[in-house]
Amino acid sequence: MNRPTIPLRRLHALSEREIEGLADVLVDCVEGGASVSFVLPFPREKALEFWQRVARDLDEGKRAVLVAEDALGICGTVQLVLDLPDNQPHRADLVKMLVHRRARRQGLGAALMRAAESTARDCGKTLLVLDAVTGGDAERLYARLGWTRVGSIPNYALMPDGSPCGTTYFYRSVDKHRAHTP
């Protein structure tokens, strides 16, 4: 399978332009039916507010944010929540894995996941946890990349149209001595 040519980078702060671009990706995903915390209608202001909060967390070192950018702007992103309780200093949550519909099915999701795992190692994290809609595209991606499925909770959240969906939890050890499998 071809590797994507879309470059990835880690952002250590979010500019206004980046917040706008990230909001575009989030709106596209929610309008496309992704269950990523929000329901429809999803005004752009709400997306901007979300990324402004992320920007504040970034400033405080509480998150890591990765983005992919094509000729039209930011087209993919993923985050690590680094700021977890004192008894989990080795762990991070992987959240808001988002690829704009224009950039899907080219391997970008997989590339963002690998980059997030590498960033987690750089941050001294050895265990990652995430959740995904049961039976969705993302669940397939994480299983393909070697993440361990823990189990599913029925009726955990809502799809953007308000219908209920289950959530499946995954974890992955990203110990630096463990090679990436796929």
- For ligand COA, the closer of residues 14 and 129 by Cβ is 129
CB of 35 to ligand COA, least distance (A): 7
Q: Which two tokens stand for residue 56?
A: 């504040």
Is residue 73 close enough to count as binding ligand COA by CB under 6 A? no
User: What distance in Å separates the CA atoms of residue 141 and residue 132, rounded to the nearest whole number?
Assistant: 10
DSSP symbol at 136: S
Is residue 97 close enough to count as binding ligand COA by CB under 6 A? yes
45-48 contact pairs (CB < 8 A, 24+): 47/22, 47/23, 48/19, 48/20, 48/23
Among 26, 34, 47, 120, binds ligand COA (CB under 6 A): 34
Q: Which two tokens stand for residue 172?
A: 């992955």
Is residue 22 close enough to count as binding ligand COA by CB under 6 A? no
Among 10, 20, 24, 36, binds ligand COA (CB under 6 A): 36
Is residue 106 close enough to count as binding ligand COA by CB under 6 A? yes
